[in-house]
Amino acid sequence: MTPQLLLAFDDEWPLAEALATALAVPLKPITRHRFPDGELKLTLPPALPERVALLRGLHQPNDKLVELLISAPAARELGARELLLVCPYLAYMRQDIAFSPGEAVSQRHIAGLLARVVDALVTIDPHLHRIASLDEVMPGCRARALTAAGALGGWVSQRVPDALLLGPDEEALQWVAEAGRAHGLDHAVCHKQRQGDRQVTIALPAVPIAGRRVVLMDDVASTGRTLVEAATACLQAGAASVDVAVTHALFVGDALAHLRGCGVREVWSTDAVPHATAVVPVAPLLADAIASL
């Protein structure tokens, strides 16, 4: 699908401008008005072409899901016949199984909901652990999951050429292995045990840490507690330095301050999520994928 227009919200405008330039398509805003009771009024361009791309990442997911669920059918009413969702950060992918009786499997339900309102979706590093691809939970939707591991690895290799890429847990192996292979960097993963949303313990892998410049790499940083524990363990083991590279910099609350406070030197992320640490652009990655759909 080659879109004829890109729609975006103001909070993702820098990425929207870069993506529209890469796609060589016009960019138009969706404006928001919030009523005193919290309800939203969205305003789209009054006439849309047949093929439209909508940029809406799902950081701060609950508000943005509502915006998406209003704007997608509104775009169809205004002329869009094919609708592509460009969702750099796809939320609700972590809960991919019911760990206790009665738990809702949010991955399946949110993905299925999105599959019913858009024709295609492009995202970056969704947290897929127990499924092989988004096709399993988005029937009838052309879904493409990209990875920013290579781009992040390239950034790291330029600044820490001898880095040891370390995943904070086993689930990060896919990202550190991809980045390590692409740029000739050593890589390994830690073992994590989680006791709660903000309580984890980390065991370092059986590789030399002392004297190494370690870069912790993961798909998403939320509370940052796993990265704090991993960084602390590396520094206690004699690491020369510890930096952090993540695709999605959520860093809720004081997460970034905790990372700085435990001795982490630099924090780098992609601009898939707007954040002060964003240094790696994803527009070229997204544009290539959109062109190939």
- Active-site amino acid positions: 192
Alpha-carbon distance 221 to 237, whole Å?
Answer: 23
DSSP string across the chain = ---SEEEE-GGGHHHHHHHHHHHT--EEE-EEEE-TTS-EEEE--SS--SEEEEE---SSHHHHHHHHHHHHHHHHHTT-SEEEEEESS--S-S--S-SSTT---HHHHHHHHHHHH-SEEEEES---SS-S-GGGTSTTSEEEEE--HHHHHHHHHHH-TT-EEEESSGGGHHHHHHHHHHHT-EEEE-EEEEEETTEEEEE--SS--TT-EEEEEEEEESS-HHHHHHHHHHHHTT-SEEEEEEEEE---TTHHHHHHHTT---EEEETTS--TTEEE--HHHHHHHHHH-
Closest by CA position to 214, among listed 146, 165, 274: 165
How far CA 101 is from CA of 22, 94, 202, in Å, comes to 47, 17, 28
